[in-house]
């Protein structure tokens, strides 16, 4: 399936503000995507997917951060380096581009709102800036998951290429995440 695109007027984190057709596609397993500009060298994207799992099941799995290497194929390491009210997370990833392979690593502050929201904020790493937000909402007999990312890598790649890569790769990563989360269901 190819990704369906949402108009730029759709606010992030809203309660399914889409057309009937988009809602139907979402419930059928489509990943809905919205990209936007962020900086001259960065990009921002939000993706939504429906999971046929109750929110508590999804929450339990997505907050198992070392397991993120199964959700996102480019992530080679994901570990909690500090626990507490605000966690610290270390992640490393490797991505092949046209003529080179980029290796990145980041340390993130992770703030959780139990069962509903996770905010990731860059502490240090291979980006000028990086924030991500993961939100869960009850939807029909399952869960609507939204994942928003905005980032500017330290490697000077024009924004349009970053946005195109995000637009192409995030839906594929989200499908992989859904496959792992729903395994055995």
Q: What is the pLDDT of residues 16-26, one digit of tens each?
A: 557 788 888 88
Instruction: Judge whether 41 and 153 are in contact, CB under 8 Å.
Output: yes
Distance separating alpha carbons of residues 181 and 185, to the nearest angstrom? 9
pLDDT reading at 3 higher than 80: no
Beta bridge partners of 4: 32
Distance separating alpha carbons of residues 78 and 80, to the nearest angstrom? 7
DSSP letter, residue 3? P
Distance separating alpha carbons of residues 107 and 161, to the nearest angstrom? 24
pLDDT reading at 91 higher than 90: yes
**Tens digit of each residue's pLDDT (9 = 90 or more) over 121-160:** 999 998 888 899 999 999 989 999 999 988 877 776 665 6
What is the residue-averaged pLDDT of the chain? 82
How many Cβ atoms sit within 10 Å of the Cβ of residue 111? 14
Confidence at 9, pLDDT banded by 50, 70, 90: very low
Of the chain, the percentage scoring pLDDT greater than 70 comes to 77
Assigned token pair, 23: 């809602």
Query: Which of 18-27, 85-94, 98-107 has the lowest average pLDDT?
Result: 98-107
Q: Where are the domains of the chain?
A: 57-185
Candidates 27, 21, 38, 17; CA nearest to 148 is 38
Instruction: Give the Å distances, CA to CA, from 106 to 36, 77, 80, 151.
Output: 23, 10, 12, 12
Distance separating alpha carbons of residues 118 and 147, to the nearest angstrom? 9
* pTM for the whole structure: 0.81
The CATH number of the domain covering residues in 57-185: 3.30.530.20
Beta bridge partners of 32: 4, 48
């Amino acid at each position: 399936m190819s990704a369906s695109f949402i108009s730029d007027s759709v606010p992030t984190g809203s309660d399914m503000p889409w057309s009937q057709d988009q809602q139907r596609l979402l419930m059928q397993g489509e990943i809905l995507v919205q990209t936007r500009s962020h900086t001259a060298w960065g990009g921002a994207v939000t993706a939504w997917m429906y999971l046929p799992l109750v929110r508590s099941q999804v929450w339990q799995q997505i907050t198992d951060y070392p397991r993120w290497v199964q959700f996102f194929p480019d992530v080679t390491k994901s570990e909690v380096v500090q626990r507490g009210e605000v966690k610290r997370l270390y992640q490393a990833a490797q991505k092949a581009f046209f003529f080179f392979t980029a290796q990145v690593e980041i340390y993130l502050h992770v703030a959780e709102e139990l069962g509903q929201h996770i905010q990731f904020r860059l502490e240090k790493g291979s980006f000028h800036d990086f924030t991500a937000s993961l939100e869960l909402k009850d939807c029909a007999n399952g869960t609507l998951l939204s994942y928003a990312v905005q980032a500017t890598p330290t490697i000077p790649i024009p924004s349009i290429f970053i946005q195109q890569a995000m637009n192409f790769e995030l839906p594929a990563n989200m499908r992989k995440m859904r496959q792992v989360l729903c395994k055995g269901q």
